[in-house]
Amino acid sequence: MPVSLSIIIPCLNEATHISATLAVLQALRGKGAEVILVDGGSADHTLQLAEGYVDTVNQSPPGRAVQMNAGAELARGHLYWFLHADTVPDADALVRIQDLASNSVSLWGRFRVRFDHPSLIFKCIAWMMNTRSCLTAMATGDQGIFVSRDLFTQVDGYEDIPLMEDIAISKALRKRQRPLCCRQTLSTSSRRWQQAGILRTIVLMWRLRAAYALGADPAQLAQRYRS
C-alpha cells in the first residue's frame, strides 16, 4: 500500500506517555500511514511499550533535531508529521492530517495545542501559544509540525541544534509560504511546566527565545533550559 503520511516521533524515556500517543495513531496506521519511532537512548520501557504499535524503530543520538532528521530519512510518505511522544491528537486532528496527506501539494503547518491540565492558567498559556503562532507564522514542536517532503528537503530538514529547532525550521519554511494554522487540537503534557514552575517557565522561555533571536548560541541556551 502506498504511504502518504509518515508520523515521526522522537522519544527519550517516555514510558509514561508513549502508550497513549501510539494507541491513538493506530487508526491512521490502519489507513496506510506509517509510524516511525526514533529513540535517543531510552533507559526505561519506552521501546518495549512501543513494540507492535510502530512500523519502524530507529536508534539515534539524543536531540530532537537529530532524531527527527533520522526519522525523515526513513520516511516514505508525501507528508511528514513530527509528533512529540507526550502529545495526543484529537479525533478531528487525525481526520485533518489524513486529508492533508491525501493532497499532493506542497504545504506545512501546525495544529492548536492544549495542555492536559484543566487549570485556567494552562488554558491561557495555550491560547497565547496558538494566537502567537498564527500571527507570527511560527510553530512549536508541541503543536505537531507537519511539512511536505519537498519543502522539508528544500530547507535541508531541521537544523542540527540542541534547542530552538522548531523555531529555526519555521523561519526557513515561512520564507517559502505561510503555514496552515489548523484549528484541530493536540493535547500535550504540562509536566515540565509544573515541575519547573509555571511563571518561571514562561519567563525562561521568553528569555531564551529573545536571546536566540538576537543570535545567542543554541548550545548555551540548551544548557540554561536544562538547568
Question: How many domains are contained in the chain?
Answer: 1
Look at phi and psi of residue 156 and say left if phi exceeds 0, alpha if psi is from -120 to 50, else beta: left
pLDDT score recorded for residue 180: 97
- State how far the alpha carbon of 125 is from the alpha carbons of 59, 167, 181, 190, in Å: 33, 18, 17, 11
Q: In angstroms, rounded to a whole number, what is the distance separating the alpha carbons of residues 58 and 48?
A: 13
pLDDT score recorded for residue 34: 98
Full-model pTM: 0.95
- One pLDDT digit (tens) per residue for the chain, 227 residues: 578 999 999 999 999 999 999 999 999 999 999 999 999 999 999 999 999 999 999 999 999 999 999 999 999 999 999 999 999 999 999 999 999 999 889 999 999 999 999 999 999 999 999 999 999 999 999 999 999 999 999 999 999 999 999 999 999 999 999 999 999 999 999 888 887 788 888 888 889 889 988 898 988 888 888 77
Q: In angstroms, rounded to a whole number, what is the distance separating the alpha carbons of residues 10 and 38?
A: 5
Kindly state whether residue 106 falls inside one of the protein's structural domains.
yes
pLDDT score recorded for residue 1: 57
Kindly state whether residue 61 falls inside one of the protein's structural domains.
yes
- State how far the alpha carbon of 127 is from the alpha carbons of 68, 111, 120, 183, in Å: 26, 12, 11, 12
187 HSE (CA, 13 A, CB side): 12
Name the E strands within the chain.
5-11, 34-39, 56-59, 79-82, 87-89, 108-115, 146-148, 180-188
The strand order across the sheet containing 108-115 reads 56-59, 34-39, 5-11, 79-82, 146-148, 108-115, 180-188, 87-89
Find the domain containing 161 and state its range: 5-190
- Give the torsion sign (CA, 63, 222, 165, 199): positive
Kindly state whether residue 197 falls inside one of the protein's structural domains.
no
| 128 CB-contact burial (10 Å; exposed 0-12 / middle 13-18 / buried 19+) | exposed
Contact 34, 58 (CB under 8 A): no
Kindly state whether residue 223 falls inside one of the protein's structural domains.
no
Kindly state whether residue 227 falls inside one of the protein's structural domains.
no
- State how far the alpha carbon of 133 is from the alpha carbons of 87, 106, 115, 170, in Å: 18, 20, 16, 10
Kindly state whether residue 150 falls inside one of the protein's structural domains.
yes
Kindly state whether residue 222 falls inside one of the protein's structural domains.
no
Kindly state whether residue 200 falls inside one of the protein's structural domains.
no
Give the domain CATH number at 73.
Answer: 3.90.550.10
